Structure 1
Amino acid sequence: MRYALVITGPVYGTQNATSAWMFAKALLKAEHSIASIFFYQEAVSNANRLTSPANDEHNLIDEWVKLSREENIALNICVSAALRRGVIDQEHAQAGQYNFHPQFNFSGLGELATSLLTCERVIQF
């Protein structure tokens, strides 16, 4: 089956993003495909390259990046939600300061709508 994942929880502080990552890994192990992963609301913090977990904590951002590269899965971030929450790319940066991880893509709700229409399953975390 072809899946799309929608994540609304932050990178740390709730279980949403970690559960989504674990679910994604399980889907791929079961030989399903993931068309896209869409980060919305507080989940845009998953694209903050300046997040620095403690040495004994799981680095979820690195895991998303690794998953995206190995499986060629798009990591889409809602641009409006990101800018509103201070996750800024180079184009929107003031004084050259930005924190958007380059493996992620800014996109709009149109990308999410396309996933809703083209995937057999959409799962929200």
Structure 2
Amino acid sequence: MNYTVLVTGSAYGTQNASTAFLFCQSLIKMSHTLNSVFFYCDGVLNANSLNKPAVDEFDLLSAWQELNQKNKVKLYVCVSAALRRGIIEDQKKLNIKTKKGNFSSFFESSGLVELANSIKISDRIIQF
């Protein structure tokens, strides 16, 4: 089966994102196709490169990055939701003096059109 996963929960503070990650791992282990993971609402906080968990906590940002690298899973972030929450890819465009954004490079900024396209080619969409 083909799946799209929609993550609306932040990386820390709720179980949504970590449960979504575990679900994605299970899909891959069971040889299902994971078309993409789309981060929306507070889910865009998963793409914040400034997230640094305590040493004894699970590093969800690194886990998403590993999922992307090892399995070539697309990680899309709604650009509008990200901007509303201070997740910025290129600060030059926004006339902010510092040049480096806090948008993790393993994620891709996108719009809801990408979510719609992923849903179109999927058998199931699962939201966390």
Q: Give TM class, smaller chain.
A: over 0.9
- Provide the rounded CA distance (Å) in 1 between the counterparts of 2:41 and 2:63: 20
* TM-score scaled by length of structure 1: 0.97
Between the aligned residues of both structures, percent identity stands at 45
2:123 counterpart residue number: 120
Structure 1 spans left out of the alignment, 5+ residues: none
- Counterpart residue identity of residue 122, structure 1: I
The C-alpha deviation readout for 1:46-86, integer Å capped at 9, x for no partner, is 00001110000000000000001100011000000000100
* Pairs aligned (count): 125
Q: CA deviation at 1:97?
A: 4.0
CA-atom RMSD, angstroms?
A: 1.0
TM-score (norm 2): 0.95
2:84 corresponds in structure 1 to 84
Moved more, 13-22 or 92-101: 92-101
4+ runs deviating over 6 angstroms: none
The separation in 1 between residues aligned to 2:31 and 2:19, in whole angstroms, is: 18
Which residue pairs with 2:112 in the alignment?
109
Match of 1:45 in 2: 45
CA–CA distance in 1 between the matches of 2:87 and 2:64? 16
CA–CA distance in 2 between the matches of 1:56 and 1:11?
A: 15
